[in-house]
Amino acid sequence: MIKRIVLSISILTTSLFCNAQKRLDESFLKCAYDFVYLKDTLSYKKSDGDMLYLQIGHTCSKCYSHYSNQVDSIFGLPNKDDVLRRAISKAFETNTGYPHKRMKTYVYKNYPEGKITVTDGLSAQDYIYEDELNAQDWEVMDSTKMVLNNPCQLAKCTFRGRQWMAWFTPEIPISDGPWKFGGLPGLILEIYDIGKQYHFVMIGLEKKEEPIVFSKTYVGSKKFEKTKRLEFLKAKKAYLMNMGGYIEMETGIDLGSNSSQKMMRYDLIERDY
């Protein structure tokens, strides 16, 4: 439902937004993944889901949430308040969702060369850190199946506290995949951890020539704060377990002990912090 609202304004925002960003490469392939994850590992309540795009270029790739990127695009407009107001009004009129961010993580593989650059956000601050490229140690298995009409082969690995099962297609010999995954002799079309808390599956694939840009931040001070991966994960865990405290610290608004905020047991996708 949110997708319809955000897509309706994407044509107006895309060209303006791209012009404001640092251009890294030109894509030749664009993949869309359905991303489903657990919001609460106590109740096993699913999230609303997300749609991730993977732009694959000649020297680097970029993976990001379609919804978060569109919200960032709106905030990059000079008339952002009017655009947001119209989108929210339309949401109420049509009883659909309003534009809001989902996964805030942007993953740039092989940027800089041989590394990954990650940007992410907590509340009113965005962060940036470097990570390892193709850090998974894969074991290719004999099992096969079809994903999106492509013959795929199974591979498995243990990566940062989780066991992952990946289906990749050798017919598309591109060593990439959603989020931080890569390093297989083919494009990853589906991947999930054995506990099924995180699940990525490809829903679309097209030849697409468009700029791969390094997205700016439009929150807080509008500047990325440099950090390290483990430091960011620890801060993210603390934030998710005490959102009320962070809100009070940033805004001065005390939600109080009688707040209806529900304490959830978040199990981050990376457990090695």
Q: Could you read off the pLDDT of 19-31 as tens digits, one per residue?
A: 457 899 999 999 9
Cβ proximity of 91 and 5 under 8 Å: yes
Does pLDDT of 121 surpass 50?
Answer: yes
Q: Parallel, antiparallel, or unpaired: how do β-strands 22-40 and 50-57 relate?
A: antiparallel
Residue 265 maps to a domain: no
| pLDDT confidence band for 265 (50 / 70 / 90) | low
Which pLDDT does position 98 carry in this prediction?
A: 58
Please check whether residue 104 lies inside any domain of the structure.
Answer: yes
Q: Which residue shows structure tokens 């993949």?
A: 31
In a domain, 233, yes or no: yes
Angle ∠(128,131,134) on CA atoms, nearest 5? 145
**What per-residue confidence (pLDDT) applies to 246?**
53
First to last CA, the chain: 35
- Mean pLDDT, the chain, whole residue set: 83
Q: Is residue 268 part of a domain?
A: no
Report if residue 258 sits inside a domain: no
CA pair distance 272, 230, nearest whole angstrom: 8
- What is the reported pLDDT for 95? 61
Residue 269 lies in a domain: no
Task: Judge whether 260 lies within some domain.
Answer: no
Can you give the residue range of the structural domain that contains 87? 2-251
Residues 44-89 have pLDDT tens digits of 666 668 999 999 999 999 999 998 888 877 777 778 678 777 776 7
Tally of structural domains, the chain: 1
Residue 222 is predicted with a pLDDT of 78
Regarding predicted confidence, which is higher, 25 or 93? 25
Does pTM top 0.75 for this prediction?
A: yes
Q: Do the domain assignments include residue 22?
A: yes
134 burial type by CB count under 10 A (0-12 exposed, 13-18 middle, 19+ buried): middle
DSSP-derived secondary structure for the chain: -HHHHHHHHHHHHHHHHHHTSEEEEEEEEEEEEEEEEEEETTTTEE---EEEEEEEESS-EEEEEHHHHHHHHHHTSTTHHHHHHHHHHHHHHHT-PPP------EEEETSSTTEEEEEEEETTEEEEEEEESS----EEEEEEEEETTEEEEEEEEEETTEEEEEEEETTS---B-STT-B-SSSEEEEEEETTSSEEEEEEEEE----EEEE----STTSSPEE--HHHHHHHHHHHHH-HHHHHHHHH-----TT--PPP-----S----
Q: Which residue has the higher pLDDT, 225 or 258?
A: 225
Does pLDDT of 139 surpass 80? yes
Give the pLDDT confidence score for residue 109 in this predicted structure. 98
What are residue 56's DSSP bridge partners? Answer: 29, 61
241 has a pLDDT exceeding 70: yes
Question: Per DSSP, what are the bridge partners of residue 225?
Answer: 127
